[in-house]
Amino acid sequence: MLDFFQAVSSLDVAVIVAIISGIVAIIGIIINNIVTYKLKKAEAKDGENARIRARMKEPYEKLVGLIYSLLRQVKSNEELDTKELLIMMEEINKSVILNSSNKVLVKWGNFRIGSANPKNANHVMHLMAELLMAIREDLGVEGDCPIQKIDILKLSINDPENFV
C-alpha cells in the first residue's frame, strides 16, 4: 500500500487530475445508466398498468350500468326481465373473469349472491358499495381525500346512513 502512495506522489499533478477525472466520469456514467434503466423500467410498468386499466374500463362500465339499472328497477317497482338480466349477467361474468382483478371478481361474486336475497337491503347496499370501491381502486381512481362506503352510497340513495 505504501508503494502505491509513493508511486502516486511521484506522478505529475496533471496526470493525477486526469486519473481522478476519469474515475469520476466512469462513476457518473455507471450511475446515469442505473438511473436510466430504473426510469425506463418504471415507465414500462406504468404503461402496462395504463393498458390494463383501459382494457378494464368497458367491462366495469357495463357492470356499473347493470347495478344502476337494477337499482332503478327496484326503486320504481318495475318487474325485472329475467331473460334479459341473465344475458347481461352472463356477458358481465365473462368480462369480469377475463379482465378484472381478483378483488373485483370476489366482490362481484359476493354482490351477485347477496343480491339474490333482496330482503336484506342493508347487506346488498353494503356489498354494492364494496364492489364499486374495488372497481375504483382497480381503475386507479385516486383523489386528495379517501372515500368511504357511505360516500359511494350517497350517489345512489337518499338515506345512506341507514345502510352502513
Q: Kindly report, residue by residue over 9-51, the tens digit of the pLDDT.
A: 666 777 778 888 999 999 999 999 999 898 888 888 877 777 7
- Residue 58: predicted pLDDT: 82
Contact predicate 129/149, CB 8 Å = yes
C-alpha–C-alpha distance, residues 137 and 139, integer Å? 5
pTM over 0.85: no
CB 73 within 8 A of CB 80: yes
Residues 6+ apart with CB under 8 A from 66: 88, 89, 92
Q: Give the pLDDT score at 107.
A: 92
At 108-146, the pLDDT tens digits run: 999 888 887 767 778 888 888 899 989 888 888 776 678
CA distance 1 to 156: 78
The Cα 46–Cα 50 span in angstroms is: 6
Judge contact between 125 and 150, C-beta under 8 A.
Answer: no
Query: Is the Cβ–Cβ distance between 156 and 145 less than 8 Å?
Result: no
